[in-house]
Amino acid sequence: MNFKTSKLLLDPKKIDPEADCIFISHGHTDHLPTSRKKPPRIPPIVCSEATAKIFEERKGYSINHQSSFSNDEFSIVTAPNGHTYDSTVAVITDLETQKRIVYTGDINNENRAYMKGFTPIKCDILIIEGTWGDKNYTFPSFNDQINLARNYVKNELAKGNPVALLGYPLGKSQLLNFSFGDLCENRFSSNSIWKMEQIHKDLGLELFETKNMNSALLEKTSTKKEPWLLFYNHVGRRDVTLRNLKEQYNLKIVGFSGWAKNKEGYKIQMGADEAFTISDHSDYQSLLNIVKASKPERVYTVFGNAKQFARDLQKDGFNATPLEEGQATLESFFN
């Protein structure tokens, strides 16, 4: 995002040493720089403490983060966006025009477990994600899905079957740990999920303790006696580890994703016994509601179904344009 003489980058793929400020919304890989090489100079970085810690874990070097930044041309502050623990939107003010620009990163406006949902912010320009920007993706409530899933997991554990809960290591897996951890004391995580658990505990999130399965799970003596719960990556049916565990222990595999909206297809693809529609992103109707409540003059859609979503917003009378991924970081698109 270019101002007269200064440059602000939003979730850039590359840390440009010449930028005046960089904003990072959260620690998912598609919102972090691609390279693990530390740049010669790191501009001021606005992000949350959680994002900075995950950045360090994933990129291999640490960054000094700050919660706001301003110069003569713009100011930037953050607000919670409900996508992953301590993820944020950017609220930018163009100090010359006094226009307010909100960049959402990825958002969820539903209150979920320990996360407060994103509250829309009135703005002149809204840059909003469009992951589920297609009218077919309207989801049931988080709490309803969790309750149904808890019943399923309880039943399987009562039958003596171990259960694997599949979700992305960052975001979904902490929600699954928080929501299901009390159902079984014999808990394991894949290595990447276990690492994220330690980071989130350090940040102050209360999670159930799990054992890293790399070192512990296959101690058959402990696993054969009683059922167990495994927090595992969101992998498909070809995953050899899961297949072996299923064969050996009659493991039940449960997937959690927005894609589970198409339940049977999703279950086949994931090799899952059961699936629940839980997404870290707002569904279509919620995205529409967020745009309406933000009352923007201009809307830019980015990520996922950005094109379809922009077309639908145009029909609703919004001045909406889809952005190519990465464009938000490159172009002076709002001047």
Contact residues: Zn ion, CB under 5 A: 28, 106
Residue 129 vs 156, nearer CB to Zn ion? 129
Residue 223 vs 282, nearer CB to Zn ion? 282
- State the minimum distance, in angstroms, from the CB of residue 12 to Zn ion: 15
Gap between the terminal Cα atoms of the chain: 10
- State the minimum distance, in angstroms, from the CB of residue 289 to Zn ion: 20
* Cα separations in angstroms, 35 against 13, 31, 32, 54: 8, 12, 9, 15
Question: Residue 31's Cα: distance from chain center in Å?
Answer: 10
How buried is 20 (Cβ within 10 angstroms: 0-12 exposed, 13-18 middle, 19+ buried)? middle
- State the minimum distance, in angstroms, from the CB of residue 263 to Zn ion: 23
Residue 190 vs 279, nearer CB to Zn ion? 279
- State the minimum distance, in angstroms, from the CB of residue 235 to Zn ion: 18
The contacts of residue 244 (CB under 8 Å, 6+ apart) are none
Residue 228 is encoded by which pair of tokens? Answer: 């167990």
Rounded Cα distance, 120 and 282, in Å: 12
Residue 202 is encoded by which pair of tokens? Answer: 């350090």
Closest residue to Zn ion in the complex (CB): 28
Residue 74 forms beta bridges with which residues? 94
Rounded Cα distance, 38 and 40, in Å: 7
Residue 7 vs 28, nearer CB to Zn ion? 28
- State the minimum distance, in angstroms, from the CB of residue 106 to Zn ion: 4
DSSP reduced 3-state for 200: helix
- State the minimum distance, in angstroms, from the CB of residue 214 to Zn ion: 25
Residue 94 vs 106, nearer CB to Zn ion? 106
- State the minimum distance, in angstroms, from the CB of residue 31 to Zn ion: 6
Residue 11 is encoded by which pair of tokens? Answer: 């979730």
The closest of 68, 79, 71, 127 to 96, measured between CA atoms, is 71
Cβ(123)–Cβ(93) below 8 Å: no
Residue 106 vs 274, nearer CB to Zn ion? 106
Could you identify the residue written with the tokens 């894609």? Answer: 259
Residue 124 vs 129, nearer CB to Zn ion? 129
